[in-house]
Structure 1
């Protein structure tokens, strides 16, 4: 539809029809039978409102979406199609690793490809918009939604934000892909105490320097929507924040797409204490330019009275309605309200061999080898007896909490992957121990008492499993333990103060370790765990995250040496939970641990823990050894660009891919600067004994920060360049910015 026609359509709508476009309801409102009555009564809206809403939440599947669209359009006076929006975070039917695992690939190009494939499946299933990517920067592993983030660094997160948006929206205006709704704007990952839905309080400098860049990268990549976050910033809930939504997102960044609230966030302005009722909450949100109200009656019931009483302008509402109509028009919904969705298309694109192959590749690159004492890995197929044990050994729960549309039955288990390498004589298996000692916390997620009682092993079964595991372990040469968090212990509303392995698993691991066998620990988790005890008990540690549909195959390939691990951490692993929040790019302090003028206790340190993380940002091992030499700068002085080079040599007989990382320190600034900041990285393939020179162009633009007077600029002075395989093990050279 041409722009003039779209504006004519807008002008022809009544106020109830306009307001309807700004309301989003869930699929249970759209049943053809009386099942829709309950949700309507609960929310306090009637069928007239339902018949005019503009979008539907979390309904997918070609058959369902086409049926709902058909029924809706029959009632629609102007035949304005519904938008179907859904949580499709890291895969639709083909599930990739959780985003924290995607961050560990340090490979944005690969992740762009993964998200393009996700969009193809989602589009076939009738989804028009996905609430992804989540680009929140996270520095506190207690927060359950660490699972959805790509990590703690703004440069790395920005690279992934761009890749994910680009992949999802590939060829969008010509009928391809689906629209990306970036979330959660803004700074949601800094919730105090790592507690879900909690307050965020930070300086504007920190907000702009660290937390906003990844959202800006997504906006620059062309995302069509932005979702507001639940948290406050500077005392104002984001959904009603003119500063964040209007001043920064719309005016500074020029975003003219759709802003949608998170679930019920407009009505929650009342609970926050900045609005007294739905009417005031509605006024705050619409004046902040929040366009769509997700799952509350606020806009549906209060916008028209506010217009009639002259409390908000008609132009303000018209602009929001136009943005929604334009999105529908840009997606081609007026010409094809289904956007090609069909059951036949689903059968063609779901979980194809090509997608499985890509999922395995992504999963393989996401796995991080954290420890490999005595070169316990890789194992050689069928040359020794291997015991696979643990609650994740033969478990299809490898896709994590937020793979809403994935199917567990599609998942390749670790045991299934091992069976490709080991015959029955060399592969031993038993569960060994329960996932948790106590499953009652699942009641908060809707599980009934009867369901909870059926989840765990009985006491007799626990004893039997332990006895069986110890017997088999004595027969085995190597024990591989597949342990980790329960699926429901991470993700949204999965905040935890204890981020160690469940106690029943820790006790089991201790008993296995006492047998003095070669041991490898595979960790399944949605966050960095505290593994301080485990590093002492086992030889090898493989961090697998929730690795997705092909997780079992990918892990087997790594364990048995078919694939050389290349994953690198995008989020630090704490030595102790008491260190949190923690991140490598901390500010300098007047009394650092290495202070030349202060000693003993009077430096910045803990009395009962080391300062450093257990495993640092950027860290990861492989089965190869790479040597860094000859760090060189093109000049000791920089005007606009400085060329940085380093030689990397594979001093082993196994092909590898090295992630070369470049960091910078601004030695003196008008405000305190971080000890190190990531500025660039490259994935470099190296054959056995091969040496390559890796080049970086470091620019003045990359040295800019928010100065004392809050201008974004680079200040002349001394800088240090660090290059290495992670943030700690680096070579360094100095230069001066003129």
Structure 2
């Protein structure tokens, strides 16, 4: 193209592939004015593709011509992207734009929400899913995603639990590595797409689970739990990191030098660029942290935020700060350099254009539906199956699908499926009808899902909120559902939360089934018909009553485009469920926070005289971390260690034998947990240090091994104020959940 030729002739080193992206960026920096450099630090929103959104005050085309934009967010139309790129590379600074978008768990094809992918305990599946998401987005001209979200979440009232991997840093780190490699490719491969590690750091620990509220995290908890997935993402080569909105220990993350320089740059050795969360640079003033917008720009830049997302604070104030000498030329270059280097690494200077067209969406769906179906089935967790109710017989004639999530195409895609087309999505009703073409499969909604206090996102994203039903409609709808249950051979209940109930700005005070779903559940169970409860949500909901009265319960999360077909595969036995919980499932909200890796205390839960920490509720969760049932059964036995005594930096290998003792081919997730019995600080009762998902035929056995080295035993100690590798005796457990009982010990000596 002409613009590409102009670009190549005007920029030094553009065609010299032997030069590194950093070298090319340095040479380009020497040619740019301060204003052009500042423009590269500015990311703007373009909501022109969203209905009802106002047009920007200044046309983006004019800003691009003036070199005021380094990145644009929310554009996914290839034609518009190409038009803006043509202006960028043929006029002004001749620097291509980096188009970003929230490609969280799919683009044309939606895969399970991230916490659902974590429930698969299958990092390779997560890698494949995000590789496909990247492939699809690149066709549209989007070359940068704001994923993976790596926030550890131990309070399920927090709405954004949906985007992460749950409560555990080891599982979170495994999913971080897999997703970064999926988005970006393996080291040494050409870079087509850039990942962002977010939200740095501690966003998932917001007080009370209230999104945007402050987090207070002691350094040892920050280092040992909340930062571990970020370290893994950095080591996997992530090109960018997003600073969080909230205060961390009273210092906003976007102006937090300890976080962004001392930890991210110095400790973790991150060399990419930091982008703020939306408007977070300007919001340093709103926090009461900066004195004005200019001070906000200075504090964010000084802390190490390279790109200002959406607030325009850098664009309006950095030039004056440079003129006054508060921001040096070297500091400005340091902010711009990794952004330019990423654009070079992505090949944007060689070809910035999208190749997608009107047929691309359909082609991508056709290519990727099968893997989306497999991923959704691998993510489901079977919580209860009394009497072997599941799988259902394919000979069943009358199936009632009841519940507000039984036939909702939009909700099955899950939160952050911003480019998905609901018409492409298979609902539960459709999936069962596909599986049983000769059966009578009927649907009744039964109850309404509605927020008491909708957020700014409701109606902007997804369908507009429905008006609250009056009493007569609510009663009639429930009566219709109960009548349908009575007229069926089996009832499949589809209950839970709508996609936008598990979203940003979507925290909850209760974890009960929203609306009148509990009443619906109890009335359907009272019919005496066989009932299977399917949960669609990303939180662990309060299903204590159901756990005592419903024989079969499966947590399906939101599986994406192929949800209905995947769940039907599970219901009727074509696939055996093998997902495991990535979070501890509380009995009710009063137990929060509850997580398996707590400390012993002076009164351990396993003490002979222990009953409960509460006088009105057992301390134990309803379902433990790592739990999940199968249609088969497994025996995990014969734990042996390669050595009973090792030196501090030596590894030990643990081996177990796993046998499928059931009648169907199925997967099992074998898990290894460690406990350090003494040291410079108290350590958690158990910590996940290894897992493998394996497939076994009936009667088949396999040995599974885990290496426990110095990295698995190193922790940040508040006693030494640094990383510590102690001598100690260690407990080792292996099994199918965090309550595994197969046990041995080894000792670490100097």
Residues 458 and 465 in structure 2, CA contact (< 8 A), matched pair in contact too: no
The CA distance in 2 between the partners of 1:52 and 1:263, in whole Å, is 18
Give 1:637's aligned residue: 645
Give 1:391's aligned residue: 404
Give 2:598's aligned residue: 586
The CA distance in 1 between the partners of 2:165 and 2:455, in whole Å, is 29
Give 1:406's aligned residue: 420
**Residues 85-109 of structure 1 deviation map (CA, whole Å, 9 limit, x = unaligned):** 1111010110001001000010101
Equivalent residue for 1:713, pick from 705, 724, 730: 724
Q: 1:723 to 1:673 in 2, by over 3 A?
A: same
Give 2:699's aligned residue: 689
Residues 107 and 136 in structure 2, CA contact (< 8 A), matched pair in contact too: yes
Residues 187 and 237 in structure 2, CA contact (< 8 A), matched pair in contact too: no
Q: 1:710 to 1:194 in 2, by over 3 A?
A: same
Which secondary structure does the structure 2 equivalent of 1:442 belong to?
coil
Which secondary structure does the structure 1 equivalent of 2:199 belong to?
strand
The CA distance in 2 between the partners of 1:672 and 1:37, in whole Å, is 54
Q: 1:525 to 1:28 in 2, by over 3 A?
A: closer
The CA distance in 2 between the partners of 1:671 and 1:336, in whole Å, is 54
Q: CA deviation at 1:345?
A: 7.7
Give 1:359's aligned residue: 372
Q: CA deviation at 1:222?
A: 0.5
Which secondary structure does the structure 1 equivalent of 2:333 belong to?
helix
**Residues 162-193 of structure 1 deviation map (CA, whole Å, 9 limit, x = unaligned):** 01000101168765531111111111111111
Residues 151 and 199 in structure 2, CA contact (< 8 A), matched pair in contact too: yes
The CA distance in 1 between the partners of 2:473 and 2:464, in whole Å, is 16
Give 1:626's aligned residue: 634
**Residues 525-566 of structure 1 deviation map (CA, whole Å, 9 limit, x = unaligned):** 021112112212311111011111000000000000000001
Give 1:227's aligned residue: 242
Per the normalisation by structure 2, the TM-score is: 0.92
Give 2:85's aligned residue: 69
Q: 1:161 to 1:109 in 2, by over 3 A?
A: same
Give 2:6's aligned residue: none
Equivalent residue for 1:431, pick from 440, 444, 448: 444
Q: CA deviation at 1:28?
A: 4.4
**Pair 1:136-2:147 in alignment:** no
Give 1:509's aligned residue: 521
Counting only pairs closer than 5 Å after superposition, residues 243-642 of structure 1 correspond to structure 2 as 243-338=258-353, 340-343=354-357, 346-347=360-361, 349-353=363-367, 355-396=368-409, 397-424=411-438, 426-436=439-449, 438-439=450-451, 441-442=453-454, 444-445=456-457, 447=459, 454-455=466-467, 459-595=471-607, 605-639=613-647, 640-642=650-652
The CA distance in 2 between the partners of 1:583 and 1:364, in whole Å, is 26
Residues 444 and 484 in structure 2, CA contact (< 8 A), matched pair in contact too: no
Q: CA deviation at 1:242?
A: 1.1
The CA distance in 2 between the partners of 1:731 and 1:681, in whole Å, is 15
The CA distance in 1 between the partners of 2:477 and 2:97, in whole Å, is 53
Q: 1:636 to 1:9 in 2, by over 3 A?
A: closer
Which secondary structure does the structure 2 equivalent of 1:574 belong to?
coil
Which secondary structure does the structure 1 equivalent of 2:413 belong to?
coil
Equivalent residue for 1:669, pick from 648, 664, 679: 679
Q: 1:733 to 1:286 in 2, by over 3 A?
A: same
* Higher deviation after alignment, 587-596 or 125-134: 587-596
**Count of aligned positions:** 722
| CA RMSD, Structure 1 to Structure 2 (Å) | 2.4
The CA distance in 1 between the partners of 2:25 and 2:700, in whole Å, is 60
Give 1:650's aligned residue: 660
Q: CA deviation at 1:348?
A: 7.3
The CA distance in 2 between the partners of 1:462 and 1:702, in whole Å, is 54
Residues 124 and 345 in structure 1, CA contact (< 8 A), matched pair in contact too: no
Which secondary structure does the structure 1 equivalent of 2:30 belong to?
helix
Give 2:8's aligned residue: none
Equivalent residue for 1:208, pick from 223, 233, 236: 223
Q: CA deviation at 1:62?
A: 1.3
The CA distance in 2 between the partners of 1:441 and 1:35, in whole Å, is 24
**Residues 346-397 of structure 1 deviation map (CA, whole Å, 9 limit, x = unaligned):** 35752123x1111011100100000111111000112353221111112212
Residues 435 and 486 in structure 1, CA contact (< 8 A), matched pair in contact too: no
| Structure 2 segments unaligned to the other structure (5+ residues) | 1-13
**Residues 563-584 of structure 1 deviation map (CA, whole Å, 9 limit, x = unaligned):** 0001001111111101112211
Q: CA deviation at 1:680?
A: 0.3
Counting only pairs closer than 5 Å after superposition, residues 34-45 of structure 1 correspond to structure 2 as 36-38=55-57
Which secondary structure does the structure 2 equivalent of 1:369 belong to?
strand
Equivalent residue for 1:194, pick from 201, 205, 209: 209
The CA distance in 2 between the partners of 1:710 and 1:6, in whole Å, is 38
**Residues 245-279 of structure 1 deviation map (CA, whole Å, 9 limit, x = unaligned):** 11111122221211110001111111222111101
**Residues 174-225 of structure 1 deviation map (CA, whole Å, 9 limit, x = unaligned):** 6553111111111111111111111111211111111111001111101111
Q: 1:28 to 1:511 in 2, by over 3 A?
A: closer
Q: 1:241 to 1:49 in 2, by over 3 A?
A: farther
**Pair 1:167-2:177 in alignment:** no
The CA distance in 2 between the partners of 1:637 and 1:253, in whole Å, is 31
Q: CA deviation at 1:472?
A: 2.5
The CA distance in 1 between the partners of 2:128 and 2:536, in whole Å, is 24
Which secondary structure does the structure 1 equivalent of 2:176 belong to?
helix
Q: CA deviation at 1:629?
A: 2.0
The CA distance in 2 between the partners of 1:492 and 1:711, in whole Å, is 34
The CA distance in 1 between the partners of 2:710 and 2:24, in whole Å, is 47
Q: 1:443 to 1:720 in 2, by over 3 A?
A: closer
* Higher deviation after alignment, 166-175 or 518-527: 166-175
Which secondary structure does the structure 1 equivalent of 2:72 belong to?
strand
Q: 1:599 to 1:318 in 2, by over 3 A?
A: closer
| Structure 1 segments unaligned to the other structure (5+ residues) | none
The CA distance in 2 between the partners of 1:578 and 1:519, in whole Å, is 28
**Pair 1:151-2:166 in alignment:** yes
The CA distance in 1 between the partners of 2:736 and 2:192, in whole Å, is 35
The CA distance in 1 between the partners of 2:528 and 2:362, in whole Å, is 50
Equivalent residue for 2:688, pick from 652, 663, 678: 678
